Amino acid sequence: MKVLLLDLGTIMRGGQRQVFYLARFLARTPGFEPMVAVPGNAPLIALLEEAEIPFTRLPSSRDYNPFNIWKLNKLVKTFQPDIVHTNDAKGASLAALIKKHKGGFKLVHSRRVSYRLKPGWSRNKYLLGDALVAVSEEIREVLVSCEIPEDKTSTIHSGIDARMYTEEDRKHPVLTLGAVGALSTQKGFEVLIEALAHLREDPTMPDWQCMIAGDGPLQQELKLQAENLGLAGSILFLGYRDSREVLPEIDILIIPSVDGEGSNAVIKEGWVTKTPVITSDLPSNLELVTHEHDGLVFRNRDASELATAIARIATDAKLATELVRTGTESVSLYTDQTMARQYTTVYKKLLEDPQ
């Protein structure tokens, strides 16, 4: 079975890593022949080259770029994929255009955010898909509410490769709080910074610092917020750093996402590196984390409640140990292998369907 994986992302985020995991699995599985199509400047290329996974460079990261349309159309003619699988919204647009005018393959879309589909082409491109895979049940329900046929939808949570992460004893001189992700409105880092201001007034807290790893459009705004709250000396903005480098330096991991969340990889990375996790109560996060079992949960955008959760873990070693223990058990449900096998089941079902 020939599978063409399409992703137009130019930043290495969770979705791009899922493409790599899936392509690697397919390349190692008899009966599958993967090909990955990405923009020429995509950081995903380095991983594909290292793993010797076939790929092709597209001229642009834009979905409607005429050179992209020409290149993908040519690739479909020469590679003749049985499945074209898109992994981002722009990729979904590009592949849907080819499907609409040429056809000849089954089209699978992965949807990784819980925002509603807008009317018009933003929705119609997904209607052209033969299968739509949501990375959380919340996202699947949103798709159905946007009039995507339910029988086309399924849920496959994203996975991680536990072998890529190391467990290290944490012997930091100062309690280190941390967060990892793009500095965008979706990720809610302004809530975290506000919570840190509350923590300064908590007499039970030991000395602490906070690391924020990521870059994005809100970087300067967040730095200004920290400065205005008198926290500039307590927060380290690291810029983009691979989470595998940062997590061993963190004692408590915080995921303050405010909307749009899918199957959050950072939660799973916290579990696999034995880091206590705190997350907002977005529905997709709650599909992963059970409060006081494998993490603590706070009400979305409630900085005061987040501060309380941080203080609980910081001052209760028994609680922290228990969250780590059960988190280690939970991550076993979300491996890259499990994720990839579920996708191959979707592919096989599509090719068995005469429609």
Residues 67 and 94 in one domain: yes
pLDDT at 238: 96
Residues 220 and 141 in one domain: no
Residues 59 and 144 in one domain: yes
What DSSP character marks residue 245?
Answer: H
Residues 209 and 154 in one domain: no
How far apart are alpha carbons 24 and 54 in whole angstroms?
10
pLDDT for 28-84, tens place per residue?
A: 999 999 999 999 999 999 999 999 999 999 999 999 999 999 999 999 999 999 999
Count of all residues that appear for the chain in the document: 355
| Long-range CB pairs of 116-124, under 8 A, 24+ apart, other chains included | 116/142, 116/145, 116/146, 117/142, 117/143, 117/146, 117/148, 121/93, 122/89, 123/147, 123/148, 124/96
Residues 195 and 98 in one domain: no
pLDDT for 121-132, tens place per residue?
A: 999 999 999 999
> Which residues, at least 6 apart from 136, have a Cβ–Cβ distance to it below 8 Å?
114, 155, 157, 261, 262, 263, 283, 284, 287
Residues 300 and 342 in one domain: no
How far apart are alpha carbons 132 and 153 in whole angstroms?
5
Residues 83 and 232 in one domain: no
pLDDT at 170: 73
Domain count, the chain: 2
pLDDT at 102: 82
Distances (CA, A) of 315 to 53, 168, 249, 270: 47, 21, 19, 19
CA atoms in the 13 A half-sphere facing the CB of 322: 11
Q: Residue 46 burial (CB < 10 Å; 0-12/13-18/19+)?
A: exposed
Per-residue pLDDT of the chain (355 residues; tens, 9 = 90+): 999 999 999 988 889 999 999 999 999 999 999 999 999 999 999 999 999 999 999 999 999 999 999 999 999 999 999 999 999 999 999 999 999 988 899 999 999 999 999 999 999 999 999 999 999 999 999 999 999 999 999 999 999 999 998 876 677 889 999 999 999 999 999 999 999 999 999 999 999 999 999 999 999 999 999 999 999 999 999 999 989 999 999 999 999 999 999 999 999 999 999 999 999 999 999 999 999 999 999 999 999 999 999 999 999 999 999 999 999 999 999 999 999 999 999 999 999 975 5
CB of 58 closer than 8 Å to CB of 36: no
Residues 34 and 131 in one domain: yes
How far apart are alpha carbons 149 and 141 in whole angstroms?
11
pLDDT at 103: 81
pTM above 0.75, yes or no: yes
Residues 8 and 31 in one domain: yes
Residues 126 and 248 in one domain: no
Which residue range is the domain that position 210 belongs to?
A: 162-333
Residues 15 and 109 in one domain: yes
CB of 7 closer than 8 Å to CB of 20: no
Q: Residue 226 is part of a domain; what is its CATH number?
A: 3.40.50.2000
CB of 312 closer than 8 Å to CB of 294: no
How far apart are alpha carbons 92 and 285 in whole angstroms?
25
How far apart are alpha carbons 44 and 46 in whole angstroms?
6
Residues 168 and 126 in one domain: no
